[in-house]
Amino acid sequence: MMKNWMLAVAATGFATSATAQDQVTFATNWLAQGGHGGFYQAMADGTYEEFGLDVEIQQGGPQVNNRPMLAAGRIDFLMAGNLLLSFDNVRNEIPTVVVAAYYDKDPQVLIAHEGAYADWADLANAPEVLIGKDGQFSFWQWMTASQGFADEQLRPYGYNLAQFLNDDKMVQQGYATSEPLYAAQQGAPVDTFLLADYGWDTYSTTVEARVEMVEENPDLVQRFVDASTIGWYNYLYNDPTLGNEAIMEANPEMTLEGLTAEVDQLKALGIIGAGYQEEVGIGAIDMDRIQMFYDTVVAAGILEEGSVDVSKVATDQFVNRQVGMDLVE
């Protein structure tokens, strides 16, 4: 049987021998890491090339904001975070749209010292919870509106583990593939609570494109999404060597041990390759779920009712096709 990725190539009408490579710039939202592995895998193992694409991956980072560059036409695709920024784009009439969602769950977590709290509900009894500025204006509002937390607990998070490590009752925000692993490395095993498992049901590591490109060059969008999806399947379930080498070349601070730990965490928490993705493929988008998340943030007071036309936030025309699923071994 012809593999799904070959079918995808055929569906786009693409033939490498007859078509020049399309130059594509894909900007990420942070430095290269295991959480970007599928994209680097597709670049390094020739998958993008097989789909007629010459892809440059442009890293984000602490001093880099790639988001404005998409609407300005300086990049072709953007790795975004969760759906809140995509809602904001639509609210502000910025002509971009989500074309794929590679994380089925947002990796945002709370961490507590192992055994300090019985369960998620018990975290609302913590004396202090460290939350960064962005979190205070997003998921913290949802936590206080519907999850039993109170503003009296709130303390600013300075993006280091010192306060947490020195207080056995401290609870703090984190990213699933960073703070829980770093704490354990420093001798403080943690209980990790993924916000997605308690109702913060946004997609993450989405890919955005300009509306103009989606309308005028859907073939290019389809090829980029399909190749990226195949890159993710190969990175997660086959040999990730080439992808890891490309990541470590782009970001020398990464190690093979660290990359492996990140990927193991993504799988263990069901952040990628699980849920709806098990049925229709990595990158899946359920438009009803996007509406439900919008309803959640409206109920929490994060956005106003009617402020966003949810139909303009994303499109599922390029995903949900089971591309690459046959590559799972």
Q: Which of 198, 228, 252 is the last residue of a domain?
A: 198
Q: Are residues 52 and 96 in the same domain?
A: yes
Q: Which of 174, 198, 222 is the last residue of a domain?
A: 198
What does the pLDDT average to over 62-88? Answer: 93
Q: Are residues 55 and 148 in the same domain?
A: no
| pLDDT reported for residue 20 | 86
Q: Are residues 227 and 92 in the same domain?
A: yes
Q: Are residues 280 and 306 in the same domain?
A: yes
Q: Are residues 251 and 184 in the same domain?
A: no
Cα separations in angstroms, 75 against 60, 69, 115, 271: 12, 6, 46, 27
Please name the residue that has the structure tokens 């097989």: 50
The domain in which residue 74 lies consists of 4-105+202-327
> Looking at the 3D structure of the chain, how many domains does it have?
2
Q: Are residues 63 and 12 in the same domain?
A: yes
Q: Which of 153, 181, 198 is the last residue of a domain?
A: 198
Q: Are residues 161 and 37 in the same domain?
A: no
> Virtual CA dihedral for 100, 308, 81, 265, nearest 10 degrees?
-80
Q: Are residues 172 and 98 in the same domain?
A: no
Give 3-state DSSP helix, strand, coil % of the chain, rounded to 5: 45, 15, 40
Q: Tell me phi and psi for residue 26, to 5 degrees.
A: -115, 120
Q: Are residues 68 and 207 in the same domain?
A: yes
Q: Are residues 227 and 319 in the same domain?
A: yes
What confidence tens digit (pLDDT) does each residue in 218-261 have? 999 999 999 999 999 999 999 999 999 999 999 999 999 999 99
| pLDDT reported for residue 19 | 60
What confidence tens digit (pLDDT) does each residue in 31-48 have? 999 999 999 999 999 999
* pLDDT over threshold 70, residue 11: no
What confidence tens digit (pLDDT) does each residue in 249-288 have? 999 999 999 999 999 999 999 999 999 999 999 999 999 9
Q: Are residues 171 and 236 in the same domain?
A: no
pTM of the model: 0.92
Strand pairing of 77-79 and 22-27?
A: parallel
What confidence tens digit (pLDDT) does each residue in 81-122 have? 899 999 999 999 999 999 999 999 999 999 999 999 999 999
**Residue 237's domain is classified under what CATH number?**
3.40.190.10
Q: Are residues 221 and 311 in the same domain?
A: yes
Residue 235 or residue 16, greater confidence: 235
